[in-house]
Amino acid sequence: MNSRKTAIVTGSNSGIGLATAEALAANGCNVVLNSFTDGEADHALAADLAKKHSVDCVYIKADMSKPAECRDLVAQAAKRFGSVDILVNNAGIQHVSPVESFPIEKWDAIIAINLSSAFHTTAAAVPMMRKAGWGRIVNIASAHGLRASPNKSAYVAAKHGVVGFTKTVALELAGSGVTSNAVCPGFVHTPLVEIQIKDRMKEHPGMDRETVVRDIILEKQPSKQFATVEQIAGAVLYLCSDAAAQVTGTTISVDGGWTAS
């Protein structure tokens, strides 16, 4: 990234998205932060990043469960900065339940936020990227984009969908200077996973937190260590770099060995 680029990171007031936004700002990008809330704290995050890294940052509220708001986020970013060069589709939610009792509204929300939002933002950003002859689309999928686990039907379906979508967009854009890739994290300690730790502790009242994390949450992660948000951001940075110009249509796993077996 040798000239100032504009990056949108969806779902970036927390966790992996925020760390990715910070990494992009630290590498000289102007950054659009996003979530569905519109609080003072959200706008303060953008102001902090701008000050800390001497770049231009703005927080734009847009609900990634709503197609028109996904597309409008890209339009607003382009209006503000003149272009959108990097799009990181990160917004995501989780719900854990057996398929027969999986709440319909949770299924719809997960498919909308975790999968369809990437379609809408990508569709809105691609014409600008094609015109510029340079672009980077990075979708934050999951180890669950490559493997399944019980009770996560919507999440696994959405993340497998994201991986398929990533590859299709890569083929459509091959040779244009625009790449499309996915990062597939294993378990990363963020608010999304903290909810799962608390739920599992309730299911296993005899187990202490450390045992729940090691034996239940990290059951499939051979390293028995969480990945960090900075490590996921590092994979995104690589995919945005010139070194990754010929890396397209693929996945990078940051999962402590989960998908090796």
Q: Is 249 in the site for ligand NAD (CB under 6 A)?
A: no
Query: What are the distances in angstroms from CA 241 to CA 46, 56, 131, 178?
Result: 23, 20, 19, 12
Using CB under 6 A as the binding rule, whether residue 17 contacts ligand NAD is answered as yes
Smallest separation, CB 162 to ligand NAD (Å) = 8
By the rule CB under 6 A, 119 interacts with ligand NAD? no
DSSP state of 78: H
Q: Which of 59, 107, 134, 155 is catalytic?
A: 155
155 assigned to active site: yes
**Closest among 249, 235, 70, 78 to 176, alpha carbons compared:** 249
Q: Does 256 bind ligand NAD (CB under 6 A)?
A: no
Partner residues linked to 8 by β-bridges: 32, 87
Interface pattern 69-108 for ligand NAD (x via CB under 6 A): ---------------------xxxx---------------
Q: Are 166 and 180 in contact (CB under 8 A)?
A: yes
Coil/strand/helix, residue 8: strand
30 binds ligand NAD (CB under 6 A): no
| Stretch near ligand NAD under the rule CB under 6 A, chosen from 96-104, 170-178, 183-191, 240-248 | 183-191
**Integer Cα distance of 232 and 20 in angstroms:** 7
Verify binding: residue 11, ligand NAD, rule CB under 6 A.
yes
